[in-house]
Amino acid sequence: MGTYNIEFLAEVDSTNAYLRKKAAMHLLPAEYAVSASMQLRGKGQHGKVWDSQPYVNVTTSFIVKNPGKINELSWINSAAAMAIVQALAHYRLTKASIKWPNDVYVGDRKIGGILTENIVVNGQVATSVVGIGVNVNQLKFGNYAATSLAAVTGVETDITAFLHTLYDCFYAQIIRSKEELLHAVNQRLYKKEENVIFEHEGRTITCTVKCLLKNGNLAIMDGKQWLEIEHHKTKWIK
């Protein structure tokens, strides 16, 4: 059993918001996480809500100190995604894939998500706060195309034990080289070499997913034309 710098909260608006404030005001160790049993205003990408049943899933945020230049931080998302994949594999779920830009899927259902936010001091990124949500024991998702570790394996998992595994995986992934991380993600890339539909810069396109690029953009093939698309200009339709 390792040593875990994890602050447990019964309830919080957002683990990312809480940890951002704490990191800005206090000297925290290089490895530190906040985990909440219940998030009242959990956030996803583009202002979406991360909807998770309380007490049955993992909702947590990690810090990464001095991560690099703000335009070179896509590797953090890759590290977080691979941490989820590795943690799931520890519990015998080995078929997870990484959906660009910030989700982890099993089949065509979402099992985990990532939201990275940065603390900038004097024009430099001092700390990245990496929010990770993983569906562990939840079984009902309403109209959402989602799944969980328990839904796939049929086995309920201890939430704290899974969090400890995720913690170990996350801090192991962030010390890998950026080249290794990029290769690992591309080995697991969702819908790679398959046709998908995007809404891109106001038009709907059907294209082939090719690979994740070093800058975090996605390379696609639109007919015979290679394109590089940015996540804030693109919506994944199907």
| Same domain flag for 158 and 222 | no
Overall domain count for the chain = 2
- State pLDDT tens for residues 20-42: 999 988 889 999 999 999 887 55
Ranges assigned E (strand) in 27-184: 33-39, 58-65, 96-99, 103-106, 109-121, 124-134
pTM of the model: 0.93
Q: Are 114 and 131 in contact (CB under 8 A)?
A: yes
Three-state SS at 92: coil
- Residue 53, pLDDT score: 80
- Domain residues for the domain of 199 are 195-236
| Same domain flag for 114 and 41 | yes
Alpha-carbon distance 8 to 55, whole Å? 12
Q: Within a domain: residue 170?
A: yes
Q: Within a domain: residue 1?
A: no
| Same domain flag for 199 and 122 | no
* CATH code, 91: 3.30.930.10
Q: How many CB atoms sit inside 10 A of residue 136's CB?
A: 26
Read off the pLDDT band of 46 (50, 70, 90): very low
| Same domain flag for 165 and 229 | no
- Residue 202, pLDDT score: 84
